[in-house]
Structure 1
Amino acid sequence: MAATQSGALPLSDEDSRRQLRRAVIASTVGTTIEWYDFFLYSTVTGLVFAKLYFPGSDPLVGTLQAFLIYAVGFIARPVGAAIFGHYGDRIGRKATLIVTLLLMGLATFAVAFVPTYATIGIWGAVVLTVLRFIQGVGVGGEWGGSVLMSMEWARTNAHRGFVASWPQFGVPAGLFLANLAVLAMSQISGSGFLTWGWRVPFFLSIILVAIGLYIRLNILETPIFARLLAERRIEKTPMLEVLRRQPKDILLSAFSRMAEQAPFYIFTAFVFTYGVTTLGVSRDLLLMAVLAASVLEFFTIPFFGHVSDLIGRRRMYMIGAAVVGVFGFLYFAMVDTRDPMWIFAAIVLSLVPHSMLYGPQAALIAESFTGRLRYSGASMGYQLASVIAGGPAPLIATALFAYYHSGYAIAVYVLACAVLSLIAASMLGDHTNKDISREYDDARAMGDSENARPAA
């Protein structure tokens, strides 16, 4: 009904602006909650899970085992992209986003109650793995819908990169809240952190879910999806259709994220293990540094999204990939000094190159797919990177350091990711300032309306 209303009854300029504001707020708050949940798990993995769920293992082996559970969430993300991409292109962006929020939030809440190895043995790790998988499925469907909810309400083509960057803002906001919650409980619980303190942030996530649900229930469907519904242009199997029509764009979207995603999880997740066990610095210093870095990204992500509107999405993205490739060496040169000030500075600065990629990334990927297949295509392209970049990154970094005993080996890995992203981004289409409100795939260009199935 909301979709029909927003599409069949044209809104005034004032109403359109109001809906844009609501869509941006709903998307940003929703992604903040989703990423709070996801990053909370990331942070606690390096600090807690190896000790509580694999206590009999060598510290390095236990860390690898904990990060294997961590990686399960990334493997699940393409599954979520396939499931919710289908429904996002079938029943709408809004309804799908409500389901992803509930799925992610309830799985995170349940982590607070998982017994440790001392209580139920290996089954504790098994339960964590299942909940992590459910988390990944929820996140897999969240990103595409949040970006489209904002981007498809944009009133002009000239500011689409800036508008689409706001759901990306949920990443540093979620990172900030997750690390703040862990830092606060670290201070409050003290020596009881490993016993009960780490569970409280997971328990509190249910409050954020309730807030996000309230906000998302009060927005309209996007005009673009409403138009597709009115024109009976809804595909029966959008995920299969986008795999048939735009497989190249899906793969290029995934590989273009290598320079953004792999280094990000090294700089914000692996750093806890590296900093505490190798450099001998306190977890609170690392938590405060990541907090400061996430605050800086509050400003840099929308800024670089705006810059992409001015100089072009693809150009901004390729500049960011080049900077990331170089910065990896500078990062480990700074942290390996073991000087708290240099470590703090390295972690804070690490998310600036990330912002150069993450700001324009939402629009760059989402614009690559035609409207009726956009949720499916953008979600799958974005989340496939989780399997090849985000999930393996801490594991690869841990293995490289175990073999070479040098952070520079990890920097070479970051450089390789940057080179792959540069190649992939150079081959992606650039739709900066172009109209995306109508279908622009090959079949539509030829006027072949028969390829679009009638709505059920």
Structure 2
Amino acid sequence: MANVATGEVSVRRMLPVITASTLGTAIEWYDFFLYNFFAATIFAPLFFPNLDPVTGILASFTTYYIGFLARPIGGAFFGWFGDRVGRKSTLIVTLILMGVATVLIGAIPTYKSIGFVAPLLITILRFLQGAGVGGEWGGSVLLSLEYGDNRRRGFWASWPQTGVPVGLALAAIALLICKALFPGEAFLQIGWRIPFFLSALLILVGFFIRMRILETPEFTRLKQEQRVAKAPLGEVIRYYWKEIILSALLRSGEQAPFYLFTTFVLSYGVSTLKIPVNTLYTGIILAALIAFVTMPFASYLSDIVGRKRWFMLASLGMAIYAYPFFLLLQTKNSVLVVLALVGAISIFHASLYGPEAAFISEHFSTRLRYSGASLGYQLASLTAGGPAPIIAVLLLAAYKSYIPLVLYIILMALISLLAAWGLREYANRDAAADKDIQVTEAAIASEAP
């Protein structure tokens, strides 16, 4: 199959690829966000009933963090297979892993039934969820990126990113429907389990669609030329360690705020500000739907003005919005609260998250791209996304004010700005073409007798 990166491809040709990558990603994030929502609302009394409210939320967020701890492990593990075996088959495995783990979470008895075994089981399954997401992202992005062309690389690679707001909206909608069907105590008994069981149907749909997509042209050519990496993880760390570190830091300004906007805000809004939880879910759903449009649009703009310039400007925007976001929440006015969430998720987060897929992936050569991009992307789970709600709960408990939360977001955004400044610009050029030759030659030389 010919490599299409150097020529322009049509939307018609890309549509099946975009559908397969985006839908699969949406399903994976639906599964992942379900746990996040319940960790912020009902998992503390169900699985940690003997703890006081603040400690119970912290314990619930700690098991939530296990999923983030697993993401770079899954990225490294599945990245190896993605660079050795192929993007398509690895994506199918991650989809199945995520689906099985999610369905089993819905079947776990609570602490009242089996004691400490309940939080232990949910922690193990959360780890498997994280590993699945860790392997999923790299493959779904590369599926779009390696079928696309250089001129619109940011736009093509952004579509799997839209799977995040789609999954977010689906999870919130499923939760609200089940709360309406199982009011009060019934929701704590059985209602919360239904959205997890529904994951099985979504996985079947995603599996069928992904099976119909061929391997990417770039990886197919790599296999034909017998240039597939023999030890991709070791090679990518050796030759791309700087890009991996900067990619992880790059995500600070979107990753940490995002989980404050979508997870921490549920416990903070309900427990501290006494905002109706349905108002918060409505804001999240509306923001997610709008982000489905704003993410590709921001990525299209990054193709025009350059990834570095766009990302640095968007990081500044996130820093500036931190204070107005919490100020709007303090009003407790439903319209303003929804407006705060829409601005946070569909404008400022989307402006960073959409172009990020191409910005990270294009810094790695084809033969090591799955491993490199996955590691760079998923390591931010340890430093930004995972600890963000835990840090926010601790800051709020210590200072009784939202100002430290504002400063935390500003700090994360400035880290992103500096990381973007340290990375190279590859918009409208071959992705890491200059380094690809050096790495291949070095790898061949090291294997010579």
Instruction: Please give the TM-score of this superposition, normalised by the length of structure 2.
Output: 0.96
Map residues 76-87 of structure 1 onto 2, 5 A cutoff: 76-87=70-81
2:365 aligned with 1:360: no
**Deviations for 1:263-298, whole angstroms, at most 9, x for unmatched residues?**
000000001100110011221111111111101101
CA contact (8 A) 2:246 2:376 kept: yes
Q: Select the residue among 402, 406, 421 that pairs with 2:401.
A: 406
Q: How far off is 1:452 after superposition?
A: 8.1
Greater shift, 164-173 or 47-56, is seen at: 47-56
Matches within 5 A, 1:18-417: 19-154=13-148, 156-191=149-184, 192-351=186-345, 352-417=347-412
Q: Is the CA contact 1:443–1:451 (under 8 Å) kept in the aligned structure 2?
A: no
**Cα pair 1:234 1:453 within 8 Å, conserved:** no
Tell me, in whole angstroms, the C-alpha distance in 2 between the residues paired with 1:167 and 1:299.
13
C-alpha distance in 1, partners of 2:106/2:445? 48
In structure 1, distance between residues paired with 2:9 and 2:324: 48
How far did residue 112 of structure 1 move? 0.8
Counterpart residue identity of residue 19, structure 2: I
Q: 1:273 to 1:237 in 2, by over 3 A?
A: same
**Cα distance, 1:209 vs. partner?**
0.2
Distance 1:16 1:296, change over 3 A: closer
Mapped to 1, the partners of 2:409 and 2:207 lie a distance apart of 37
- The whole-number CA distance in structure 2 between the counterparts of 1:404 and 1:446 is 53
The answer on whether the counterparts of 1:321 and 1:357 sit within 8 Å (CA) in structure 2 is yes
State the AA in 1 paired with 2:85.
I
Contact 1:37 1:202 (8 Å CA) reproduced: yes
- Contact 1:327 1:350 survives alignment (8 Å): yes
Task: Kindly tell me the number of residue pairs found equivalent between the two proteins.
Answer: 445
Whether the aligned pair in 2 keeps the contact of 1:334 and 1:346 (CA below 8 Å) is yes
Once the two structures are TM-superposed, the CA of residue 340 in structure 1 deviates from its matched residue by: 2.1
The one-letter code of the counterpart of 2:219 is: F
- Counterpart CA distance in 1 for 2:408 and 2:394 is 11
Distance in 1 separating the partners of 2:352 and 2:201: 31
SS in 2 for 1:441: helix
Deviations along 1:364-418, one digit per CA (max 9) or x if unpaired, are 0000111111000000000000000000000000000000111111110000101
CA–CA separation in structure 1 for the residues paired with 2:436 and 2:285: 45
5+ residue gaps in structure 2? none
The verdict on how the C-alpha distance between 1:445 and 1:399 changes in structure 2, with shifts beyond 3 A counting, is: closer
Moved over 4 A (4+): 13-19, 445-449, 451-454
Runs of 5+ consecutive residues of structure 1 not aligned to the other structure: 1-5
Give the equivalent residue in structure 2 for 1:3. none
**Would you say the 8 A contact 1:236–1:453 is kept in 2?**
no
Shift of 1:181: 0.3
Cα separation, partners in 2 of 1:388 and 1:313, compared to 1, 3 Å: same
SS in 1 for 2:359: helix
- Shift in Å, 1:15: 10
**TM-align CA RMSD:** 2.0
The normalised TM-score by structure 1 is 0.94
- Whether the aligned pair in 2 keeps the contact of 1:325 and 1:419 (CA below 8 Å) is yes
Which moves more between the two structures, 331-340 or 213-222? 331-340
Q: Would you say the 8 A contact 2:8–2:151 is kept in 1?
A: no
- 1:76-103 deviations in whole A, cap 9, x for unaligned? 0000011010010001000000000000
Q: What is the CA-CA distance between 1:339 and the residue it aligns to?
A: 2.1
SS at 1:158 equivalent? coil
**What's the offset of the Cα at 1:7?**
5.3
For 2:51, the aligned partner's letter is S
For residues 124 and 45 of structure 1, the distance between their equivalents in structure 2, rounded to whole angstroms, comes to 14
Which amino acid is the alignment partner of residue 115 of structure 2?
Answer: G
**Farther-moved stretch of structure 1 (443-452 vs 421-430):** 443-452
